[in-house]
Structure 1
Amino acid sequence: MTRLSRLLAGAALAGALAAPALAADQDLIVFDWAGFENQALIEDYVAKYGQMPTYAFFGDDDEAFQKVSSGFKADVAHPCSQMVQKYRDAGLIEPWDVSRIPEFANIAPRFLNSSIFKDDTGVWYIPTDYAYTAIAFNTDQVPAEDVASLAVFTDPKYAGRISLPDNTDDTWSLALLATGVTDWTNVTEEQFQAAAAWLRQAHANVRTYWADPSELSQLMKTGEVVIAWTWNDGVAAMKREGVPVEFNRTPKEGVASWFCGYVNFKDQPGSEDKAYDFINAWLAPGSAKGLLENFGYAHANDKAMATITVEELKAGNVDPIDGIVLSQTPIDPAMRDRMTQEFETIKAGF
């Protein structure tokens, strides 16, 4: 679960998709979520080379995969966990040499507990960041008891005043949770149909499907939208802008968690050494605070997380929660493709 601080306006993002942006170190091209060209995440790299890498941006995981599979060349990319199988199946990536990544040993084991990420052929994925997808609500207009259940998204009381992500993984995590599924790794036909039917009900209440947190922030700032399914960074940004918003991570049906990380492309155009310097900088303990302060996300490196206080984690809504969590771990690519197709059909009103 698709992400991260996509804080650029839509027009700026569209322009960024057309070509690499922020050209700097031409020996390393990083294909990343818009907003992640942040020095606080890779201070050691900048200290060593005196400049940032060259970045190219994408707006969601499916778009990124399509671009790369169509021939776009980069050295590393930042997909979320459920996409790694597609990159492997397409033959686009190669294993990382973890002997060159000292902090790999400190990555929390739960993020590598899949043969898709790590098997006898090597380590295919370096997890770096994680957070939650939950309910953001306007505290001036929505009582807390109304968001105690995910049923709020189908409540006629809020028709035309809710927003969902324009994103397969996040929106399906909501629909599955709302219909009683807490593990999406083996969704049955009955569960799929129930979640799709629920999404159609929610669609009737949707004012718009938000594409990036800045869009959602504007909608909630004006009061057009008062309830949304969103990530930590969007809520953190709205609070900084003075929007009366809170983040409920404990509705009775549960919330979703997701994590993202980096893959290493085959036949990369740039420097392999710099790719390793980049990932080592990302995993350095000092990057955890920059990740939390700039994005509201937590770090996959346990040693790095040990530098963050419990109070800081609570302030960012990334402290552990006592409730149901659907983990957006990898699922069968065929099922995910089916979810994507069904989501597009629902958005079109069918």
Structure 2
Amino acid sequence: MMGMVRHLGRAAVLASLLSGTAARAADNITVFDWSGYEDPAFHPAYTAKHGTEPDFSFFGDEEEAFQKLRSGFKADLAHPCSQSVNKWREAGLLEPLDTSKLTGWNDILPRIKDMKGLMTSDDGKAWFLPFEWGNSVLTYRTDTVKPEEIQSLKAFADPKFKDRVSIGDSVDDAYALASLVIGLKDWTKMTDAQFAEASAFLREVHKNVRLYWTDYTEVNQAMASGEVDLAWAWNDTATVLQKDGIPVEMKRDTDEGMSTWVCGYVRLKGAEGDEAKEYDFLNAISDPAVSAYLVNDWGYGHANAKGMAAMDPQVLTAKGYADVDKFVDKTLFQSPMPTELHQKMIAEFEKIKAGY
């Protein structure tokens, strides 16, 4: 794990979530986030302006966050990803954004803006400010796995990798993998037959799974120790492990491609913090100056087009971001999906993990 990321232990995260309220300084804002994103390097302009950090509370996945918020948990901002935005909005959890207060709103990468239903709703209201984007991608140990063995994502179900596979304990990442394998690039159009086919594939993968990782440090540690050879992981796994000298690579050019997700920030209904500070934070994470850190140290792309354009072209090429259109050409975007379909996936994935 990156030394600069102040990772909060899972026990502490759980204690924070079970408390029912987020710790809050008298006039501070609270951000409900993934552990690790409290890193001050993601929002330096906020710290410089206010001389303090926001308060953070953490969730392990978006369904957990959703249920916590529905039960009355209070925070000011939260960090969901593209596929959950509609669900959170329809549940009445969000406040619209005032885009006139967002300095980077017009600088968001065009391909992200084009994702239907992501940033705005049919009534023209804005709900979601993209921050980072990246991939769920086949990641492997180069000392134990040959490239020709993993040309297809079907390798995750290959018996030769029994007990050597890890995928995230995330319904979205799991069904993104399965959708790609069955040839579906737009999961919003998934039919009942395709859902059954995708679920059948995940049941085959389950036979090989050694670890359903819930925290990116878990899969990083499993790959670093050699416990796992093949993972469906995010960009930061290979980025971090390579810096530690671990023989790990991402294989973006499989026959089926990879999945691309976009995450960002929303304003929560019932927020009690200072609204001006909320927008200061949102503008801080959108600052073009954050792009280099996000790409270099985490392996993710920044949603701010100006920040990405200002980076060293060699660095962008090395990270795979030199040509954004080419990058996303062979991918399944984890775009907002119908809530009914998402709930169906959640229920089925729980059965799969339980061995049914």
Tell me whether the two structures share a fold, i.e. TM-score over 0.5.
yes
Question: Deviation digits for residues 71-108 of structure 1, max 9, x if unmatched?
Answer: 01111111001111111111111111111112111112
Give the Å deviation of 1:216: 0.9
Give the Å deviation of 1:223: 1.4
Aligned position for 2:62: 61
Contact 1:25 1:52 in 2 (8 A): no
Aligned position for 1:334: 340
Contact 2:261 2:334 in 1 (8 A): yes
Give runs of aligned pairs for residues 244-255 of structure 1, distance below 5 A: 244-255=247-258
SS at match of 2:56: strand
Does residue 128 in structure 1 map to residue 134 in structure 2? Answer: no
Aligned position for 2:182: 179
Does residue 299 in structure 1 map to residue 305 in structure 2? Answer: no
Q: Distance in 2 between matches of 1:313 and 1:141?
A: 28
Paired residues, number: 346
Give runs of aligned pairs for residues 28-39 of structure 1, distance below 5 A: 28-39=29-40
Q: Distance in 2 between matches of 1:242 and 1:14?
A: 32
Contact 2:6 2:38 in 1 (8 A): no
SS at match of 1:79: coil
Contact 2:167 2:232 in 1 (8 A): yes
RMSD: 2.0
SS at match of 2:104: helix
Q: Distance in 2 between matches of 1:101 and 1:125?
A: 11
Task: Name the TM-score, length of structure 1 as normaliser.
Answer: 0.93
Aligned position for 1:275: 278
SS at match of 2:138: strand
Contact 2:260 2:328 in 1 (8 A): no
Question: Deviation digits for residues 154-213 of structure 1, max 9, x if unmatched?
Answer: 111111111111000001100111111111111001110100111111111111111112
Gapped regions of structure 2 (runs ≥ 5):
none
Contact 1:238 1:245 in 2 (8 A): yes
Gapped regions of structure 1 (runs ≥ 5):
none
Give runs of aligned pairs for residues 108-119 of structure 1, distance below 5 A: 108-113=109-114, 114-115=116-117, 117-119=119-121
Deviates more, 1:96-105 or 1:8-17: 8-17
Question: Deviation digits for residues 283-327 of structure 1, max 9, x if unmatched?
Answer: 111111222233221111111111222322243344443862000
SS at match of 2:288: coil
Give runs of aligned pairs for residues 83-162 of structure 1, distance below 5 A: 83-113=84-114, 114-115=116-117, 117-119=119-121, 120-162=123-165
Contact 2:137 2:232 in 1 (8 A): yes
Question: Deviation digits for residues 15-64 of structure 1, max 9, x if unmatched?
Answer: 44345778667421111110001111111111110011111111111111
Contact 1:296 1:317 in 2 (8 A): no
SS at match of 1:336: helix
Aligned position for 2:194: 191
Fraction of identical pairs, as percent: 42
Give runs of aligned pairs for residues 193-212 of structure 1, distance below 5 A: 193-212=196-215
